[in-house]
A = this chain, B = another copy of it.
Amino acid sequence: MSAIQSWGDTLRLLVELLATAAFALSGLMEAARKKLDAVGVCVVAFLAAFGGGTLRDLLLDQRPFFWVQHTEMLWAVLALCVLAMGFMRQRHFEITEKTILWPDALGLGLFTATGVHHALQSFMPLVVAVLMGLITGVFGGVLRDMVCNEIPTAFKDHHPYAVCSFAGGWTYVAIWSLDTPGWVALLGCLIVTVGLRALALWYNWRLPAWRA
């Protein structure tokens, strides 16, 4: 049993690293499109990678932040920035964007679960916990876009993204309230979030626009 758990922990860490890299890469590419300098590239990548979790911890008043406890993540994102500026060119952007769709969706699911988990640990009401999951998963990208002077993609591109996180968050809450072990809720949240996101991309689902 403990072997399975440790195997699960390793898997989780791997997903987390992949997801953080995917989020950072989305920031890198947006910064490149906006022709930012080296400093801007790094800051936008950091915001995309760590912004959501940091905002959640600010709202929940939790310290230390994730990246204070794991400063190796800061160095990893910094290294990614340096490598990208050295070797990544415009012609790699399209393939990168397609490649990171999967780790990004996994990250959305994992970060949502983490956010809900933290909020439930702080005895937040259920709806607030789901909101915190959504903020963790989505607001890194929102901050990235705000700094780059764009309306956040998550709010205007009509592709389901935040709603996948919302559904996944409620899944986590539902399973958790059945007193099952934490990893079941995590897995349920992941499956719902990533599944919905994959379906949405596959069938090109569109969010309802306001016929204003």
Contact = CB atoms under 8 A, between A and B. Distances in A.
- Looking at chain A's contact residues, the main secondary structure is helix
A208 B210 CA distance: 37
Interface stretch (A123-131, A170-178, A188-196): A123-131
Contacts of A158: 37
A34 interface: yes
Contact of A210 (B32, B75, B207): B32
Interface in A116-157: 124-125, 127-128, 131, 142, 146-152, 154-157
Interface stretch (A7-15, A18-26, A61-69): A61-69
Contact of A147 (B68, B127, B152): B152
B208 A155 contact: no
Contact of A146 (B125, B147, B162, B163): B147
Q: Give the contact-size bracket for chain A.
A: 35 or more
Nearest to A84: B210
A71 B38 contact: no
A59 interface: yes
Interface in A64-80: 65, 67-68, 71, 74-75
Most buried by B among A147, A161, A211, A212: A212
A154 B37 CA distance: 9
A188 B154 CA distance: 42
B210 A41 contact: yes
18 contacts: A31-B155, A32-B212, A34-B156, A35-B210, A36-B210, A37-B158, A37-B207, A37-B208, A37-B209, A39-B154, A39-B207, A88-B212, A89-B211, A89-B212, A93-B212, A147-B151, A148-B151, A149-B150
